[in-house]
Chains A and B, each alone.
Chain A
Amino acid sequence: QVQLVQSGGEVKKPGASVNISCRASGYSFTSHPVQWVRQAPGQRFEWVGRINAGNGVTKLSQTFTNRVTITTKNPARTVFMELRSLKHDDTGIYYCATRFATSSGFDLWGQGTQVTVSS
């Protein structure tokens, strides 16, 4: 089955780090860059960054350049996103997604991971 499955929700304190995983199955993992997108409560979706699962090359939104690292473990078909120095504003749902059978947009999404930053 073609799918992306993310790790479970996290509750963190301000200043901490969070690491979210996204495991791909059912398709050629290295052929489709994996994107990370978040939605804070009441806000529009915001692109975080992406990784080329084949060679590990990443591109990050300028908003997150200093605080996000995206990595991949190919044999495990898994992508990881680490967000550091968490702030209350980082609370939201984080999604991984990829372009699988379309020429633009993201047509395959993970189920989302709720990250709550609370003191």
Chain B
Amino acid sequence: EIVLTQSPGTLSLSPGERATLSCGASQSIDSDSLVWYQHKPGQAPRLLIYNTSKRATGTPDRFSGSGSGTDFRLTISRLEPEDFAVYYCQHYANSFTFGPGTRVAVK
């Protein structure tokens, strides 16, 4: 089973700053199977990015995804107050696996 890792565990930034989140896979994966979610307390996760780099409906264009093979990234170009949350990457092969998450916190 492919294991996903995410770094850093916590990213402390100020509104307006750029955030770069990393997701690593234990072996090379199909880019079409890598997605990113945003999760806020008390809410269901929200799909942000699918197929590594495609924005889901309603995802602002300050969010972008990139990567291939074993290394993937989610970039938030300029943090807005509503972007402070936990972000998870997810992969699908025979089953779905999630990374441990990166918390984007207010500095």
Contacts and interface: CB of A to CB of B under 8 A. Distances in A.
B101 A44 contact: yes
A112 B57 CA distance: 21
Contacts, number: 55
A101 B35 CA distance: 14
A11 B61 CA distance: 42
Contact of A37 (B33, B35, B46, B96): B96
Interface in B81-107: 88, 90, 92, 95-101
Q: How large is the interface on A (under 10, 10 to 19, 20 to 34, 35 or more residues)?
A: 20 to 34
B45 interface: yes
A106 B100 CA distance: 17
Interface string A22-58: 0000000000000101000000111100000000000
B72 interface: no
A75 interface: no
Contact of A112 (B35, B44, B50): B44
Interface in A64-119: 95, 97, 101-107, 109-112
Chain A interface main SS type = loop
A19 interface: no
Nearest to B44: A109
Given A44-B101, A110-B44, A103 B51 contact: yes
A102 B88 contact: no
A33 B57 CA distance: 20
Interface of B: 32-33, 35, 37, 44-47, 50-51, 56-57, 88, 90, 92, 95-101
Interface of A: 35, 37, 44-47, 59, 61-62, 95, 97, 101-107, 109-112
Q: Name the 7 nearest CB pairs between A and B, nearest first.
A: A105-B35, A109-B44, A47-B96, A45-B98, A107-B47, A105-B50, A104-B50
